[in-house]
């Protein structure tokens, strides 16, 4: 049933499987074997049966079982005759990642690292239900979810250049807060600027290796430089948007007598009221998440200023880039020689556009879009760059992280917290966590080897590896 097309590409043929398109899986032998231990490939096959899907269903090497649609999955649907599906985006709408640079070297930061982590842990709220009082009002929430990062930067939360270095310039046009429930708004108003829990994190990292000197220079990265990686999403606001519309679309399925292999893949046809309403609400949650990470960036910069006694501008704390990895977008791509408008759903997958695409910021356009890939707790993370092959093969998409191999419950059962703490100590990593169970849930061994994941993507020609970073300080909810 699964055909090996190359050392890093596998295919499940559509004929004989009732699929509308084949499934393409990017993985080495070991990762492929692991994917067959859960429902990852079955979920990908279910998605490949959805109406209006074009070319192929994709699974990235970090792919694993998710809610209906596999995490690490990418599917594109014809904008005229396709669908929009919340399950193919996820509950944490615009869960994403950003990388903030500094002009500090590891040797400068190391003596103050413990103090720095204490300040970051105090200044950036984290944990389940974490809230912050920064004076935001319901009116602010309406504006930031429609206007995005520029609105919050204009209120003093960031540099003007930050907006140019965020996917979509930090705001998806067409967000409509009238399509968002009051419960979502209530959950969101005090969560702007909070990290949350689970796999979300704040890491201080050292650039350990430069792989592509030319692109690294364009991105402003050099060996032993200290950078900050931030991973978070739309918090309770986005989760409630997804929950609300899963119910609405479940009702839509029943009314229209639509039968699904998996009810978690509930959808609505494009240009229906239900699809348009969800897409407008999703955009509001996307903008919330961009703003959430922007406010935390401001808080991170303030922490560095306190510890190092210089302004964040003097510390060179520019944003390298911010990418979303749970999102749907209306994009144009070539399919079988035809230019098509497509609703590209990426769930646990990162946009990785090639050099020359106008969506890539001007400062990076000649080099390809920065793709930021975090590892699991205590392991390496990577910066990649988009390639033309991604435009041809993956709708301009890449992996988004390392990908789980254990459920959270299994990790708690099988990985003692002491093992992770000992490992972090042996690597001389400063570690701060609010909920002790996360130490096991997010342990290195609960995830795939990120170097294998990134290596598979690079070997398949989807993205170039630019730099590798290692953590020196980790803060989690």
Query: What is the set of active-site residues?
Result: 400
* Helix-then-strand count for the chain, H and E: 15, 19
d(CA 124, CA 292): 11
CB 376 within 8 A of CB 201: no
DSSP string over 264-328: GG--EETTSHHHHHHHHHHHHHHHHHHHHHHHHHHHHHHHHHHHHSS-TTTTT--EEEEEESEEE
HSE of 247 in the Cβ direction (CA atoms, 13 Å)? 6
Continuous H helices in 98-234: 106-109, 113-123, 138-147, 149-154, 182-188, 213-219
Give the pairing of strands 350-351 and 57-64. Answer: unpaired
d(CA 130, CA 135): 15
d(CA 395, CA 459): 18
- List C-alpha distances in Å: 144 to 95, 152, 181, 300, 411: 17, 7, 16, 20, 37
| Helix, strand, or coil (residue 83) | strand
* Furthest CA-CA distance within the chain: 66
CB 170 within 8 A of CB 149: yes
- Burial of 182 (C-beta count, 10 Å sphere; 0-12/13-18/19+): exposed
- List C-alpha distances in Å: 35 to 38, 60, 372: 6, 11, 23
d(CA 357, CA 344): 16
| Helix, strand, or coil (residue 470) | strand
CB 433 within 8 A of CB 439: yes
């Amino acid at each position: 049933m699964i055909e090996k097309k190359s050392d890093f590409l596998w295919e499940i043929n559509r004929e004989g499987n009732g699929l509308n398109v084949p499934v393409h899986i990017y993985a080495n032998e070991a990762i492929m074997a692991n994917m067959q231990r859960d429902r990852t490939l079955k979920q990908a096959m279910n998605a490949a049966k959805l109406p209006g899907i074009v070319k192929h269903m994709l699974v990235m090497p970090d792919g694993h079982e998710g809610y209906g649609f596999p995490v690490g999955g990418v599917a594109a649907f014809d904008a005229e005759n396709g669908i929009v599906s919340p399950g193919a985006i996820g509950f944490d709408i615009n869960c994403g990642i950003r990388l903030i640079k500094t002009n500090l070297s590891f040797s400068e930061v190391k003596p103050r690292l413990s103090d720095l982590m204490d300040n970051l842990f105090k200044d950036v709220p984290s944990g389940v239900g974490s809230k912050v009082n920064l004076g935001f009002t319901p009116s602010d929430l309406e504006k930031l979810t429609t206007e995005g990062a520029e609105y919050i930067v204009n209120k003093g939360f960031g540099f003007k250049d930050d907006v140019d270095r965020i996917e979509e310039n930090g705001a998806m046009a067409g967000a409509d807060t009238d399509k968002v429930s009051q419960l979502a708004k209530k959950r969101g108003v005090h969560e702007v600027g909070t990290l949350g829990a689970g796999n979300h994190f704040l890491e201080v990292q050292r650039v350990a290796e430069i792989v592509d000197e030319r692109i690294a220079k364009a991105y402003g990265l050099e060996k032993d430089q200290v950078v900050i990686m931030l991973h978070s999403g739309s918090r309770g606001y986005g989760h409630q948007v997804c929950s609300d519309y899963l119910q609405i679309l479940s009702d839509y399925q029943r009314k229209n007598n639509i039968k699904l292999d998996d009810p978690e893949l509930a959808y609505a046809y494009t240009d229906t009221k239900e699809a348009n309403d969800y897409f407008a609400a999703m955009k509001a949650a996307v903008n919330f998440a961009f703003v959430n990470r922007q406010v935390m960036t401001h808080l991170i910069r303030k922490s560095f200023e306190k510890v190092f006694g210089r302004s964040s501008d003097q510390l060179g704390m520019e944003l390298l880039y911010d990418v979303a990895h749970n999102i749907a977008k209306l994009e144009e791509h070539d399919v079988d020689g035809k230019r098509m408008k497509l609703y590209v759903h990426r769930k646990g997958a990162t946009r990785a556009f090639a050099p020359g695409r106008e969506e890539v910021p001007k400062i990076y356009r000649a080099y390809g879009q920065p793709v930021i890939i975090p590892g699991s707790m205590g392991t390496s993370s990577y910066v990649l760059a988009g390639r033309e092959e991604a435009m041809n093969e993956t709708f301009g998409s890449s992996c988004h992280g390392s990908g789980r191999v254990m459920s959270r419950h299994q990790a708690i059962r099988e990985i003692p917290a002491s093992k992770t703490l000992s490992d972090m100590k042996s690597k001389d990593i400063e570690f701060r966590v609010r909920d002790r169970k996360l130490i096991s849930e997010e342990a290195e061994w609960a995830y795939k080897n990120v170097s294998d994941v990134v290596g598979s993507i690079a070997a398949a020609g989807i993205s170039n590896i630019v730099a590798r970073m290692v953590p020196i300080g980790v803060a989690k909810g």
